[in-house]
Amino acid sequence: MVKPPKPPTPPGLERRKPGGRPGHASYQRVPFPPAMLASVPTDYLLDACPACGGHLLMANASEPIVAQRVAIAVVPLEIHEHRSHPSWCPHCCKESYAPFPISIERRGLAGPRLTTVIACLEGACHASYSTIRKFVRDVIGLTISRGIWRRSSAR
């Protein structure tokens, strides 16, 4: 049985925008420890200043932006960490970070296989979010908050 489409929202009653509410504290996931990483972190460095093209120096005072991704391997999880290191341009006095590849930047925490498992459980199996979380925790061995499922699902 297919549900009928939702009626359009009346003018003046716009749907709320996704994301955190203004004034609420932000939630940051605790990074996985280095012992859980499946490989040596991949570092990204800039060759030249993106603003002026000038020579860059390593900015030692700033921490890199870290993006970690979880993927399902044959049995264990593979956790890969990608780092974009800051560089300082003494010419234009700007700090810049090397860009992540689009495949890393645009995707969330879950890799393609884990996303497929979650989509199958949600779509084909009609599993609830709490059931999916329990499956991922008990079967795959990964504990993640509920908010990640809502962001990764196609709604």
What is the model's pLDDT at position 120? Answer: 92
- C-alpha 6/C-alpha 96 separation (Å) is 45
- Residue 4 placed within a domain: no
Residues 50 and 79 in one domain: yes
Look up the pTM and report it.
0.43
Residues 115 and 151 in one domain: yes
**How confident is the model over 63-118, as pLDDT tens digits?**
888 999 888 666 567 788 889 999 999 999 999 999 888 878 777 777 778 888 88
- What is the domain count for the chain? 2
- Residue 98 placed within a domain: yes
Q: Scan for tokens 């972190």, then name that residue.
A: 41
Q: Is residue 58 within 8 Å of 85, Cβ to Cβ?
A: yes
The neighbour count for residue 52, using CB atoms within 10 Å, is 11
Average pLDDT of the segment spanning 45-68:
89
What is the model's pLDDT at position 151? Answer: 41
Average pLDDT of the segment spanning 112-130:
88
**How confident is the model over 9-33, as pLDDT tens digits?**
777 777 777 777 888 887 778 889 9
Q: Which of 46, 109, 41 is nearest to 72 (CA)?
A: 109
Q: Is the pLDDT of residue 141 over 70?
A: yes
Strand partners for 58: 87
Q: Scan for tokens 């609830």, then name that residue.
A: 128
What is the model's pLDDT at position 74? Answer: 61
- C-alpha 79/C-alpha 29 separation (Å) is 14
- Residue 3 placed within a domain: no
- C-alpha 94/C-alpha 64 separation (Å) is 15
At 44, list the tokens.
């990204």
Confidence category of residue 155, pLDDT binned at 50, 70, 90:
very low
What is the model's pLDDT at position 150? Answer: 45
List the Cα angle 121/128/103 in 5-degree steps.
Answer: 50
- Domain assignment of residue 155, given as a range: 110-155
